[in-house]
Structure 1
Amino acid sequence: MTDVLRVALAGLGTVGAGVIKLLDANRELIERRAGRPIEVVAVSARDRSRDRGVDLSRFAWEDDPADLAAREDVDCVAELIGGADGSALALARDTLAAGKSFVTANKAMIAHHGLELAEAAEKAKVALKYEAAVAGGIPVIKGLREGAAANEITSVYGILNGTCNYILTEMEAKGSDFADVLAEAQRLGYAEADPTFDIDGIDAAHKLAILASLSFGTALDFDTVATSGIRRVIAEDILEARALGFKVRLVGTAEAAGGKLFQRVHACLVPRDHPLAHVAGSLNAIVAQGNFVGRLFFEGAGAGEGPTASAVVADLIDIARGEYGPAFAMPHARLTQAEAIEAGDRRGRAYLRFTVHDRPGVLAEITAAMRDANVSIESMIQRGGAEPSEDSDDVVSLIIVTHEGPERCVIDALERLKGAQSLAGEPMLMHILDL
């Protein structure tokens, strides 16, 4: 190894170009903090001709990113390609097999293949770093892995997707429906042309699985993250939540106890006085509960050129210092296999929105299903419609908030109402955050 940390960069999109800009702009400061210079020596991307706003002529170019791992003048590879498999995973495996450290912003790859890569890094005695994979520029990975290392973390939860948070806070501010705000977010570049991974909660689930493993010392288990998104949140839900003293947020929640693990990403009602209720726009925020340190709250930009590049370069500085350590805060062999906790085993309160035909008997049918499923109703509100009549075709909303109870009872009540002629659409269920 030379005195200079020689880096190969795979992927020259917004973040890749941002890494080069940051290394150029803060070169002297970074060298002082790292204890030696950090230099990009080789790059790879699909299009050589594209103007990325940085001078690439000083770097060696590899058309195939896999060739970066084999270069003798490279000590470390930073992967910013994306995708759980394909060329990104091949590059990760080749880099670690070659005995070189690996930095990535790829949350999907870490969520699906993190254990394999952590084992490979430990065997090669090199670093696997992924600070940029979760919450962009927020140093939550380092905070949990190092700053809170002495603590037993019992829960970790938060707002993990900036696109969803932007959409929900815009709906809140403007009273607009989901589809209209999504279209505007796509026009402004806050949402992808295909926003599925964001709005269906998959992106947040990748990040939650990583945080859970890091926090609890459990093996990565993305497949058991119960995942739903915000497609079915409407303006009325936002308004009703506000009237009840809540705000709607997409929240990822993970809890561990007694060798069992619960992981869920879903739209929920957050009390107005909770810190997450005040996280607006595209910001991310994570809360972790430690048995000695108490509540830790991390907030900041979860994506974008500057924040994500900042996290990538922070990992490079660690590697330049020789700060490696296991990827998930303990050797991969010491991570435990936790039994997944079913959502029905948890207790909590719920918000339910029913779209119903405004006819006699509807209320009795719904409350009977609640009674038979042992769901206790805290409050009930009907919006729209006049006096119901036998021949009415009006559709109205019925909002129910439950008392605390087993989640399986709410699920049972909704099962009992499946196919009910009173319903004009699928009920909307959001749990109420109580953490």
Structure 2
Amino acid sequence: MIWNKSKECMSREEMRELQGKRLHKLVDLVYHNTPFYRNKLQELDITPDDIQTIDDIVKLPFTTKQDLRDNYPYGLQAASLQEIVRVHASSGTTGNPTVVGYTRRDLDIWKEATARCLAAYGVTRDDVFSVGYGYGLFTGGLGLHYGVEHLGATVIPTSTGNTEKHLHLLRDLKVTGLACTPSYALYLAEAMDKYGMTKADLHLRVGAFGAEPWTENMRKEIESKLGLQAYNIYGLSEISGPGVSYECECKCGSHICEDHFYPEIINPDTGEVLPYGETGELVFTTLTKTGMPLLRYRTKDLTSLIAEPCDCGRTSVRMTRIIGRSDDMLIIRGINVFPSQVESVILEMKEFEPQYMLVVDRQGTLDTLEIQVELRKELYSDEMGILLGLKKKLADRLKSVLSISANVKLMEPNSIPRSEGKGKHVIDNRKLK
């Protein structure tokens, strides 16, 4: 099902013309209403009249998360507080949080974009959807909540926590759709056994998973354990929460709502714009936001763009899976390592659960990497020969993928801490010294 055929199936020429008009209007808005951007543009000797087509976007400056923190709390808003009807904020680990104000029009666009995502998954008014993302300042809960309502399906604002109650609601209310992080989806699947339930007791058929990188193997794991079709949904609080992009039934990249969010891929070191197909840092410009619009916001997410039309009939540019973030990439002995690479290897091997932890440390001047991974219950053994064989098998495969050696530590089932939100997979002790 296509929710908004006029926009999702628009010709490339029509889309670029629309993007150009909206970009000009956006630059005019921030030039006159956001002193931060006016100063930036004046430093570059740029006025709104210099931005006439979407190709002119390269003339504009980038925006970073540090810019948002430096202008905390409302310095980047283009609308007055009287026009702001909701505020969200991301929970940064250092410095000020990033505060984002939304006008009523922004919220209307957001819920329409999220409805596009849900429709692409095959969600209809007959579905009952449990939203297991966190509510409050995090955009995940409310973002999916209003999208489900806008589409006309039934929403259950389950949020996170109290897993036993969540599972009982899934069963008793005959829930057909689930929205949460992929880590929490696996957590729910594991918990079913504890409470005497199986996937046959549930009615789930579709899942909207995002807020953290996940792999194709993890998708298969979730689908197998919960008996549903798992789809990716992407968003970030600075841009618009969930609904920025979404998979369709083809599961071949996530369609970007590019009539609202213009994507670019840049070299994270030089800022050079990269062509379609090349991997780099994802950058978004909010073409229609009026509360806190952003020019060329550097997301730090690493991905690539697909320009070819999709078999589903949508013509929008797609983004491939996020392989990691340029700012949480680990550099170990000169080698770039992403947790998603480790996860991909673990999920290829049926002997292990998709539960792991990377522990990075430093002995003298040498970085060390320990990878802790849980064995499946039926394979856990006291026989040293079996354990050593499994350890070597995983270590050899990891070395071929990561290009560095890692110490593999096999863990008992259920020994690695679980998360009901974004999964924590890295402990970097180097930062503590």
TM-score norm. by structure 2 comes to 0.28
TM-score norm. by structure 1 comes to 0.28
Q: State the structure with more CA Rg.
A: 1
